[in-house]
A and B are shown apart, each in its own frame.
Chain A
């Protein structure tokens, strides 16, 4: 008994050091998946460009539902909604605006938007609405158009900041980019409808979200 008394416990300090080092690493490197309303299984490609910061994101899920997302910042999101509400004469409270500015992506008719915003985020996922994008009622076109305008404005502010520090900054990098996130199984005709909407607005440079190909092509 007396002989073993000196070392009844293992010194765990190095292990704890290592564990916390790893925890810190993963905490800092992790970027959480933003809370998206649908899971979209994107096709793979050899493309290696990363998604830019300032984007207008249109998601199309398996069933052809169209989602709209916009990442130029909370203020810009509010402005987009204010413009949309003014155009379609939808009454929104300050609370609605606040909620909308925090929303990542949504799919519903603009007239249903107040009701949609009142829902809890879990209930929103259960809704089955879409953003109308047909020729008689093309709300998507307005969303994209206002998103583009606000995205440009927000990008310009950022560009001016960057240009102060670095005279080589290019405005192009700060312009909003248009991203299509389509499910591989969605019918192309659904995507085409959205693409035609972009082309109607003279926005011809589109980007498709793809996952990296598992086996490097070539």
Chain B
């Protein structure tokens, strides 16, 4: 626009028009200021890492008329984790109280930790059948012997198998959510299929108390 004005009128009074030559450009400084202000604002307010969700299927509650069978007792290859405030204990197999009628030695709690050398290693050892099976399937998938869907089905089958580790989680009144989610996360990493958060028995609670002291 400024250029046009200059070109149109500039013949007779050329001298006076030339004096205005310096103002043909728009001063962009405020524009740049604003642009960078906005830029800074959006950079600082935008959140890049969207929160994720971890799904967990809880066992259905037994219906009132349903007879509770002793299936829980029959589960083989199970491990029970007991959580307290930032502490984690476990025992393998069934729970035996002191002086139980079967005459088995009473259950002793063992302590571990949330680090990679604790729970993760323990689970990796106990859940070998699934992890090895998964690795085999992965090789097949990579060499394109099986399809992606077959691979996923295969893993599902492995997790359901008898040899796969089943995990029960019990928490006491001091356990915090972080402990629980960390543990479930470890179970995820080790491809545990059956996870059951269940109630703590009174005798187990006593055992945790004794351990902490």
A contact residues, total (Cβ < 8 Å): 59
Interface code B28-63, partner A: CB below 8 Å = 1, 0 otherwise?
Answer: 110110011011001101110111111111111100
- Chain A: which residue is nearest B181 at the CB level? A43
Whether the pair A211, B181 counts as a contact (CB closer than 8 A) is no
Q: Which of B187-202 contact A (CB under 8 A)?
A: 188-189, 197
Known: A51-B50, A205-B57, A210-B51. A16 touches B32 (CB 8 A): yes
Interface code B159-175, partner A: CB below 8 Å = 1, 0 otherwise?
Answer: 00000000000010111
Complex partner residue of A23 from B38, B55, B182, CB under 8 angstroms: B38
B174: chain A residues within 8 A (beta carbon): 187
B22: chain A residues within 8 A (beta carbon): 8
What separation, in Å, do the CA atoms of A213 and B148 have in the docked complex?
Answer: 26
Complex partner residue of A46 from B25, B58, B177, B188, CB under 8 angstroms: B188
Whether the pair A195, B58 counts as a contact (CB closer than 8 A) is yes
Known: A26-B46, A186-B176, A187-B175. A218 touches B189 (CB 8 A): yes
Whether the pair A209, B53 counts as a contact (CB closer than 8 A) is yes
Whether the pair B54, A13 counts as a contact (CB closer than 8 A) is no
Whether the pair A26, B188 counts as a contact (CB closer than 8 A) is no
Main secondary structure of the interface of A (DSSP, over half): mixed
Whether A212 sits at the interface, judged by CB under 8 Å, is: yes
Interface size class of B (residues with CB under 8 A): 35 or more
- Chain A: which residue is nearest B83 at the CB level? A188
Whether the pair A33, B47 counts as a contact (CB closer than 8 A) is yes
What separation, in Å, do the CA atoms of A16 and B39 have in the docked complex?
Answer: 11
Whether the pair B39, A49 counts as a contact (CB closer than 8 A) is no
Known: A43-B181, A185-B178. A23 touches B39 (CB 8 A): yes
Whether B185 sits at the interface, judged by CB under 8 Å, is: yes
User: Which residues of B does A touch, CB under 8 Å?
Assistant: 22, 25, 28-29, 31-32, 35-36, 38-39, 42-43, 45-47, 49-61, 83, 171, 173-182, 184-185, 188-189, 197
The 10 closest A-B pairs by CB, nearest first: A26-B42, A184-B178, A47-B54, A19-B35, A30-B46, A207-B53, A45-B185, A182-B177, A43-B181, A188-B175
A–B Cβ pairs within 8 angstroms, 28 of them: A16-B32, A22-B39, A26-B42, A26-B46, A30-B46, A30-B47, A33-B47, A45-B54, A45-B185, A47-B52, A47-B55, A184-B178, A185-B178, A186-B176, A187-B175, A190-B177, A202-B60, A204-B58, A204-B60, A206-B58, A207-B53, A207-B56, A208-B54, A209-B54, A210-B52, A210-B181, A211-B49, A217-B189
